Amino acid sequence: MKDATPRMILLSDYQPPDWRVEALELRFELDPEDTRVHSRLRVRRRDGSAPGAPLRLHGRDLQRLSIAVNGAEPSPGSCVEDREGLLLSGLPDAAEIAIETRIRPDANTALEGLYVSGGSLCTQCEPEGFRRITYFPDRPDVLTRYRVRLEADAARYPVLLANGNRVDAGSLPEGRHYAVWEDPFPKPSYLFALVAGDLACIADRFTTRSGREVALEIYVEHHNRERCAHALASLQRAMRYDEEAFGREYDLDVYMIVAVDDFNMGAMENKGLNLFNAKYVLASPDTATDDDYVHIESVIAHEYFHNWSGNRVTCRDWFQLSLKEGLTVFRDQEFTTDCTLFGVKRVDDVQRLRAFQFPEDAGPLAHPVRPDRYAEINNFYTMTVYEKGAELIRMLRTLIGRDAFRRGLDRYFQRFDGQAVTTDDFVAVMAEVSGRDLAQFQRWYTQAGTPQVTARTRFDAQAGVLQLDLAQRTPPTPGQHEKDLLQVPIRVALLGRDGRRLSARLGGAPEAAEWVLELTAGEQSFQLRGLREPPAAVSWLRGFSAPVLLEAGQGTDELAHLVANDDDAFARWDAAQTLLRRAVIARVEDAVDPRLEAALTTAMAALLEDSAVEPVLLAALLELPAHRELMESFERADPVAVDQARRAVEHSLFAPLAERLAARAPERARWDDGAFTAEAMGQRRLLNRLLAVRVAAGGEGALEEAARQYHEARSQTLAMGALAAVNDRAEPVRGELLADFERRYRQDPLVLDKWFALEAASQVGDGFARLERLLEHPGFRWSNPNRVRAVLGPFMAQNHRHFHRVDGAGYERIAHYLERLDALNPQTAARLVIPLTRWRRLDEARSARMRASLEQLAGKGLSKDLADVVERGLA
Ligand code: 0A1
Ligand code: ZN
């Protein structure tokens, strides 16, 4: 796919649409090789629009068969086709436009627009896929009512679905049939969807709190019908939660979810008809891990929550993407916290943020939560827009308080229902309900980069005052050299010698045992007064109250005190992470710190003995910072050396604890049932973590235990835990277990993806030969994003020894594969290339080679998607 040099789209160029679309009728004659789309739009010039302004209809790769304006063919001069689509000029103030186009779903490998997956026809329109279906003002601020008639072969496509309610259906000559769908809610084109296929329907009901009966339907391929129970139950929980926690009720008579094998992303919130990557629908305890179960529940909830945060209130333009995504991620995180994972959810989210969003914000692809320019909007579905966006919402709640925040949300949904708005509109409502000036806070949306906060304390024993001195600084990011000061909420507490929280007064406020410091200046001091004893430890950034890098210069003893006692799960875990990170950094710098490592062993030993520590938290406390996150601690680093240092610390720390680790293991048979409860999942997480640590520490019998756990496992969670524990071991057991797993699940694509991922990640043996074999495997398909991601992703993220081979062979190979993938699926190629943009952070030899691979790729005539990332990666 070759495109001309991309044009920059600028936020400052935004103009409201000149035309409204009052109604849209679509008729599809569906056929994989030749689909006809008949579209009829009623348009009207908007009040106040420039007189004579033309009507822009976007269109891409369409074969136009006919066009009529008010029943007549327009003159060639008034209907011009350019690279964006059609430009119609000389129109009266109101007109009816009828267009017939021809498209070929079976030739659509980009998976945007109308395409084929398995035996079904399906669509993906966000952000700009609708223009690959028909000519239309394909922008989120043009909302209209849709009436859609689908016609298809009745035997091949017995199920015909579109948004809204089905109002008619029947048969047609020649074995064809039709269905008509009407969506009563005006929507932008990116929320349009249709599905035609031979699918099983798993149905249930939901009664909303005001008594509306909603049919819930999940559509999957027939052989997957037994794997939908979890998704369905998750949907019901999400619907109830949105009513209880956010006061949001569902608004149509039916809510449909369709699972497809070939999908670029996780899922899509099309009005009343969500499309899902099958990976986020299908689950049974023997095929899906606990992580899979949790992800399914959260993606189902995420898409459901979009019905309000995204569909009822949508984005004015794509710069506002975080308006719906940041808010919806925040909402799904709240749901998973309250219903499923509780305290450890925050730990998991921060781990992800640090491993993926912080590097993005510190690298060449850094951009603000609300970007102000883009060449290809597909490349802005990022961790920054989603996860950092959610952090901004959470900070707003911290700053204005839960009550005001909840009132603000109500007012936001009420005021902007049916409209397309901006992040400024959202923040303005929060300012209004709280009476607070949020002008400085707004900078979080416009300024990229992770702020660095330093903190120091001084205790005046005589006065009983603890002074906290804070400073902030945000490093430059591409295109933003000067940074403004931000408003940073920093939640803190103090622990006494006995591990309990101390009370004190902040400013004139009454005595409390936890405070939110609002850092707004470059340097700022706070005083906590009325302390009767010196604090033994400061618990900083509790609950990760702001997405910053905080450096508090705390000593080993203070951090160990937090690891042993902090009642904030995040802060406790974070104290352990700080110690572990220091130990790894010391080893990378060839300065092993035996005292630090001994202190860590002691701290870990104590945690293993402490029966008050919940299993799930214990599992998290025993985890070392991820390799990706550790790489961020260095200006430049040798990734293989960082991996080895990380493993060395793990080994040295846990080798002396072998017996305790074995003794702490929960009873395997008792928890091996795949039950979706916090308790059971916590026990399994601990089982797997202890096994991994025992293997890493070289404990006696650990490999045998891994093999036993694998062979005896009933749940996929414990099977995968065993495989992951041995995956980087050279002993024959690794090969035996992986071969057995492949034999067992050869026919099951989603489970086979786990095997692909393990094989690609393994650093033992000849990783290149293995990679070749994976790509030749009968289950591998370049046209399936899940499969491609399962192989290339882990190879780059975990197989340091091969991907980062000093001679650059790993980079070259990946660049070559991505060129090939780009010809089929630009969007997926553009995501997978991201690790190749990190060359600045590598040691010099690797850095030059990685850059060379990227340059080579840049010269290949790439899609707009891939070219955009490659160019920014080189700049
Ligand atoms: N809005 C979806 C994400 C999504 C974006 C683009 C897609 O295809 C190009 C598909 C899905 C969500 O947040 O779940
Ligand atoms: Zn979303």
Cβ 325 under 6 angstroms from ligand 1? yes
Residue of the CA atom closest to atom 13 of ligand 1: 325
| Nearest atom, ligand 1, residue 381 CA | 5
Nearest bound ligand to CA 263?
1
SS3 state at 67: strand
Nearest CA among 460, 528, 537, 529 for reference residue 499: 537
Ligand 1 pocket residue status of 492, Cβ below 6 Å: no
Q: What is the pLDDT of residue 1?
A: 45
* Residue 568 CA, ligand 1 centroid: distance in Å: 34
Residue nearest to atom 11 of ligand 1 (CA): 268
Residue nearest to atom 6 of ligand 1 (CA): 126
In this predicted structure, what is the pLDDT of residue 699? 85
pLDDT tens-digit series, residues 161-202: 999 999 999 999 999 999 999 999 999 999 999 999 999 999
- Calculate how far, in angstroms, residue 325's C-alpha sits from the geometric centre of ligand 1: 9
Residue 364, φ and ψ in degrees, nearest 5: -70, -15
What pLDDT does 51 receive?
86
Q: Which amino acid is at 352?
A: R
**Can you give the pLDDT at residue 2?**
47
Nearest ligand, CA 324: 2
- C-alpha to C-alpha distance for 746 and 662, rounded to whole angstroms: 33
Annotated catalytic sites, by residue?
A: 303
pLDDT in tens, 670-700: 999 999 999 999 999 999 999 999 999 998 9
Q: What is the mean pLDDT of the chain?
A: 97
Q: What is the mean pLDDT of residues 234-238?
A: 98
> Which pLDDT belongs to residue 5?
59
Q: To 5 degrees, how large is the angle CA 707–CA 711–CA 714?
A: 130
pLDDT tens digits, 645-662: 999 999 999 999 999 999
ipTM: 0.98
Q: Which residues contact 674 (CB under 8 A, 6 or more apart)?
A: 284, 285, 286, 290, 680, 714, 715, 716, 717
Whole-number Å distance, alpha carbon 267 to ligand 2 midpoint, is 8
Least distant ligand from the CA of 268:
1
4 has a pLDDT exceeding 70: no
Percentage of the chain exceeding pLDDT 70:
99
Q: How far apart are CA 853 and CA 866, in angstroms?
A: 14
pLDDT for res 6: 66
Report pLDDT for 3: 52
Contact 181, 167 (CB under 8 A): yes
Is the CB of residue 772 less than 8 Å from the CB of residue 737?
Answer: no
Cα separation of 620 and 601, whole Å? Answer: 15
Ligand 2 (ion): residues with CB under 5 Å are 325, 328
Dist. CA 398 → ligand 2 center (Å): 23
Reported as a single tens digit per residue, the pLDDT across 796-845 is 999 999 999 999 999 999 999 999 999 999 999 999 999 999 999 999 99
Residue nearest to atom 1 of ligand 1 (CA): 268
pTM (2 d.p.): 0.98
pLDDT average, residue stretch 625-643: 98
d(CA 555, CA 419): 52
Report yes or no: 830 and 376 within 8 Å, Cβ to Cβ: yes
Annotate 773-817 with three-state secondary structure: HHHHCCCCCCCCHHHHHHHHHHHHHHCHHHHCCCCCHHHHHHHHH
Residue with CA at minimum distance from ligand 1 atom 9: 126
Q: Do 461 and 534 meet the contact criterion of CB atoms below 8 Å apart?
A: yes
Q: Is 487 helix (H, G, I), strand (E, B) or coil?
A: coil
Q: How far is the CA of 391 from the centre of ligand 2 (A)?
A: 15
- Separation of CA 227 and ligand 2 centre (Å): 24
Q: What value does the mean pLDDT take over residues 580-602?
A: 97
pLDDT for 275 beyond 70: yes
Average pLDDT score over residue span 115-140: 98
Residue for token digits 């309900």? 433
Average pLDDT, integer, range 244-249: 98
What is the mean predicted confidence (pLDDT) over 861-869? 97
Taking the C-alpha atoms of residue 730 and residue 724, their distance in angstroms, rounded to an integer, is: 13
CB 715 near ligand 1, within 6 Å: no
Q: What is the pLDDT of residue 769?
A: 98
Q: Are 285 and 673 in contact (CB under 8 A)?
A: yes
> Which residue among 117, 126, 332, 382 has the greatest number of ligand 1 atoms within 8 angstroms of its CB, and so is best to mutate?
126
Provide mean pLDDT across the span 387-396: 99
Determine the pLDDT at residue 7.
86
pLDDT at 630: 98
Residue reference for tokens 């009720």: 249
Beta strands in 349-427 (DSSP E): 373-374, 420-421
